[in-house]
Structure 1
Amino acid sequence: MIKGHGDDIYDFPDIRINFSSNVIPSGLNSALKEYLCLQMKCIERYPEPLGESLASRIEDVKQLPVGSAMVTNGAVEAFYLIAELFQGRKSLIFYPSFSEYEDACRKSNHKIESLHHTKFEETDYSETDLVWICNPNNPDGRIYDKEKLLIQIVANPSVIFVVDEAYSDFLNTDISLETCLTGYKNLIIVKSLTKNFAIPGLRLGYLLANPFIIDRLQKQVMPWRINALALEAGRFCFSNLNLDKTEISKHIKESLRLQNEIKGIDGFNVVASLTTFFLVETPVLAADLKEQLAHDCGILIRDASNFKGLSDSCFRISVQSHEENNQLIEVLKEWS
């Protein structure tokens, strides 16, 4: 998705408040910022070719077998690598969801089938090679039940289930399949460090899978894809995984308040979400509302009309501070 994604703040010169990006609302952690400033000398030398020591650190923290983790240039690189590994296969994608799954599959000549998410439990997967799941789902925050996911993974051992857990930290409940990984050879979990540590510009993610799959993926990639500063950020993150946990509940509570406030404004309908982002439907074109809010108010929202299955009146909001959320509420009330 080269065009039409969130956080396109560079297209608008005077944005004051950015509701379009799903990173943690509290922004860059001050301790991480201080740490990275002290590590700047690392950019004077080449990084590890594959980020090996960070992958090893991830395996230790997650208590996974050696060779179960692979560091990636953001979660998006993981999707393209997986699609390339299974080039020409048949992929099933439930919509609405992140369009990069489809883009990656199309690039690697997959036969793509799209189904509405309500079909997940009743679908026959016997003719499918890969299933792509986002949990919690982008853009609507929908949650796939952990046990129901495992039922399908167990029942379809010849199907690879790619589960994108980029936003799994943005919930008050644990829905991750990480602890189940070693029991299932047909499970690939994709994770992101850019969302919960607010470092999307560093492009840092990782995937977890059976060592046989990891080995095959490693053979596809070029060396030095992960820059030295990103690797240092990863080392910090995996030494401070609980650093921002206390913030999450606060942001979720604020998200629920914001959803309720917008739902009460004439002409707006909110798709309920238990995480820090959610969908809103309006009676006008989301693209027009986005342009107006950006140029007149310095407020950026995510036009969600390019997600398969959504209308051109849908936009996505990622909660910000209490004060900034109140500004959005007032602007939408005036607009309404």
Structure 2
Amino acid sequence: MIKGHGDDIYDFPDIRINFSSNVIPGGVHPSLRNHLSSCLKCIECYPDPLGEGLACQIEHHKHLSAGSVMITNGAVEAFYLIAEMFQGKKSLIFYPSFSEYEDACLKFNHQIEFFHQTTFGDVGYSGLDLVWICNPNNPDGRIYDQEKLVKEIEDNPNIIFVVDEAYTDFLNSDISLESCLPEYRNLIIVKSLTKIFAIPGLRLGYLLADSTIIDGLYRQVMPWRINALALEAGRFCFSNLDHDKQEVAGYLQESQRFQNAINDIDGFRVEPSSTTFFLVEAPFSAAVLKNHLAHNNNILIRDASNFRGLTENYFRVSVQAPKENNQLIEALKEWS
């Protein structure tokens, strides 16, 4: 999907409040912004061809074995590289979820089976080659049980489990499977640096896997895919910035208030989420609501009707500061 994602602010030049993108509120950390401003000279030279310097830094930071990290041009590139490496195979995708798993699989001729996420743990994996899971799930914030997920990986050693952990930093609990990597060679974890550090425009992600998988993926890529500023941002983040758990906890608390307030508006139904983003079912078309809010309130939401399994009435929002959240609440009340 080239268009149809959130953060399509380029189509709405007068947006004041952007609820459509699942990045941390508040924007880029001031120290990271200052650092990038001070090292603009790096764009005068070619970057590290494969980003291996940053990969080694992450391996050291996370106490992972050498050759288990690969830097990617955003998490999305990781999905396409994985689908290409296993082209023509059979994949299972739980829905509703991020559309790029399906798009990547279709591009590389996968046979795809779709199951609703509520069937996780009950479906059989016979004949499958890959299983794609987003945890926490985009767009609804659903969290897959860690023990069940590990058991599925352990019981199916011949199936590759691709676990997208782009949003694990937006939780009060640690659900990452990073500690499982040394034990399970059929596990690929995809991570994003753009969400927690609010740098989606730099396109920076990475994946964790057994070194044999990493080696295979490297054989597919062209040099200089990751630009110099993105690599510089990654090096700085892993050297200088820790996730402020207290700040995240504050946003999670505000998310619960925000969800409850919207759910109390007549005609609107929130699907409860434990993270900073959530789905809302409106009593009318989400596309109509999105355009109205954008043009009349300068507020942008994510029309979620193009997620497989969702109707035209669904939209997604990501928590902002209380003052901004209240403006969306009031705008929705007007429609109610």
Tell me which interval the TM-score lies in, with the shorter structure as reference length.
Answer: over 0.9
Secondary structure (helix, strand or coil) at the match of 2:168 reads coil
Secondary structure (helix, strand or coil) at the match of 1:153 reads helix
In structure 2, how many angstroms separate the alpha carbons of the residues matched to 1:241 and 1:249?
17
In structure 2, how many angstroms separate the alpha carbons of the residues matched to 1:317 and 1:28?
19
Deviation at 1:244?
3.1
Q: Gaps (5+ residues) in structure 1?
A: none
Give the conservation status (yes or no) of the 8 Å contact 2:140–2:279: yes
Partner of 1:224: 224
In structure 2, how many angstroms separate the alpha carbons of the residues matched to 1:244 and 1:104?
33
Partner of 1:35: 35
Secondary structure (helix, strand or coil) at the match of 1:291 reads helix
Amino acid at match of 2:298: G
Q: Does 1:297 align with 2:297?
A: yes
Give the conservation status (yes or no) of the 8 Å contact 1:126–1:156: no
Deviation at 1:241?
4.4
Secondary structure (helix, strand or coil) at the match of 1:238 reads helix
How many pairs are equivalent? Answer: 336
Partner of 1:132: 132
Deviation at 1:118?
1.2
In structure 2, how many angstroms separate the alpha carbons of the residues matched to 1:243 and 1:305?
32
Secondary structure (helix, strand or coil) at the match of 2:240 reads coil
Amino acid at match of 1:77: E
For residues 30-74 of structure 1, give each alpha carbon's deviation from its aligned partner in whole angstroms, at most 9, with x where no partner exists. 010011111111101000100011000011011111000000000
Deviation at 1:3?
1.4
Partner of 2:233: 233
Partner of 1:245: 245
Partner of 1:152: 152
In structure 2, how many angstroms separate the alpha carbons of the residues matched to 1:232 and 1:36?
7
Q: Which moved more, 1:75-84 or 1:114-123?
A: 114-123
Deviation at 1:142?
0.1
Partner of 2:107: 107
Partner of 1:172: 172
In structure 2, how many angstroms separate the alpha carbons of the residues matched to 1:241 and 1:112?
39
Secondary structure (helix, strand or coil) at the match of 1:182 reads coil
For residues 129-161 of structure 1, give each alpha carbon's deviation from its aligned partner in whole angstroms, at most 9, with x where no partner exists. 000000000000000011110000000000000
In structure 1, how many angstroms separate the alpha carbons of the residues matched to 2:18 and 2:42?
31
Secondary structure (helix, strand or coil) at the match of 1:284 reads coil
In structure 2, how many angstroms separate the alpha carbons of the residues matched to 1:56 and 1:27?
27
In structure 2, how many angstroms separate the alpha carbons of the residues matched to 1:167 and 1:83?
21
Partner of 1:208: 208
In structure 1, how many angstroms separate the alpha carbons of the residues matched to 2:243 and 2:263?
32
Give the conservation status (yes or no) of the 8 Å contact 1:73–1:205: yes
When normalised by structure 2's length, the TM-score is: 0.99
CA RMSD of aligned residues (A): 0.7
Deviation at 1:237?
1.2
Give the conservation status (yes or no) of the 8 Å contact 2:189–2:208: yes
For residues 290-325 of structure 1, give each alpha carbon's deviation from its aligned partner in whole angstroms, at most 9, with x where no partner exists. 010101110000000000011110000000111000
Partner of 1:254: 254
In structure 2, how many angstroms separate the alpha carbons of the residues matched to 1:190 and 1:244?
21
Partner of 1:274: 274
In structure 1, how many angstroms separate the alpha carbons of the residues matched to 2:104 and 2:113?
14
Q: Does 1:78 align with 2:107?
A: no
Amino acid at match of 1:148: K
In structure 2, how many angstroms separate the alpha carbons of the residues matched to 1:97 and 1:8?
19
Secondary structure (helix, strand or coil) at the match of 2:26 reads coil
Partner of 2:95: 95
In structure 2, how many angstroms separate the alpha carbons of the residues matched to 1:333 and 1:119?
35
Amino acid at match of 1:190: V
Give the 5 Å matches for 1:322-333.
322-333=322-333
Partner of 1:58: 58
In structure 1, how many angstroms separate the alpha carbons of the residues matched to 2:300 and 2:243?
28
Secondary structure (helix, strand or coil) at the match of 2:246 reads helix
Structure 1's consecutive aligned runs of 4 or more residues displaced over 4 angstroms after TM superposition are: none
Secondary structure (helix, strand or coil) at the match of 1:270 reads strand
Amino acid at match of 1:258: F
Secondary structure (helix, strand or coil) at the match of 2:295 reads helix
In structure 1, how many angstroms separate the alpha carbons of the residues matched to 2:52 and 2:282?
47
Give the conservation status (yes or no) of the 8 Å contact 2:28–2:197: yes
Give the conservation status (yes or no) of the 8 Å contact 2:196–2:243: no
Partner of 2:263: 263
Give the conservation status (yes or no) of the 8 Å contact 1:189–1:209: yes
